[in-house]
Amino acid sequence: AQARCVENPVFVVLSGCDTGGGRLQGGEGLMGLSRAFLGAGARSLVASQWAISDASTATLIERFYRGLVRGLDRDVALQAAQRSFFDEAQWSHPYYWGAFQLIGARGAIPALRGSQRARWELRDAALIGVMAVLVLGFVAARRRGRSA
């Protein structure tokens, strides 16, 4: 596998836990992963504000990507994905869908509209994101088990 560096990414999704947070630095403000991506040139990103269920995150991000591929604006796609949880008893509480927020540009991503390649790339990105969330959840669970 070859690593690729993406210059000036248009949009970044940080689906892991607490990716929107950081450390408060005097004179600088909040320093964290989100700020690093914005500083590197991302025009917008989605990040979580607290630890969230792996299963609900995977479902929410998948629904969000589907909205993007349909040509929805980023903010509308995120809102639609979040609202889709309202009628599902196990995920209706805001804990499961409210952690994610959009930072930056909110319009549609024109290159995604109707593109079959974009659908495959988003599917791959979603699978990688889900795998990352599951691995991080597994690591966190093992750490909790050792400290108990």
Indicate the DSSP class of residue 80: H
Q: What is the pLDDT of residue 29?
A: 64
Distance CA 86, CA 103 (A): 23
pLDDT tens sequence for the chain (148 residues)? 444 555 556 788 888 787 877 777 777 666 677 878 888 888 888 999 898 888 999 999 999 999 998 889 999 999 999 999 998 999 999 999 999 999 988 888 876 655 555 555 666 666 666 666 677 777 777 777 776 5
Indicate the DSSP class of residue 89: G
Distance CA 115, CA 9 (A): 18
Output the DSSP codes for 13-71.
EE-STTTT--EEETTTEEESHHHHHHHTT-SEEEEESS---HHHHHHHHHHHHHHHHTT
Q: What is the pLDDT of residue 2?
A: 47
Q: Taking a C-beta distance cutoff of 8 angstroms, is the pair 74, 108 a contact?
A: yes
Tokens 């959009």 map to which residue?
Answer: 102
Closest C-alpha among 13, 61, 56 to residue 37: 13
Distance CA 102, CA 19 (A): 12
Q: What is the pLDDT of residue 1?
A: 46
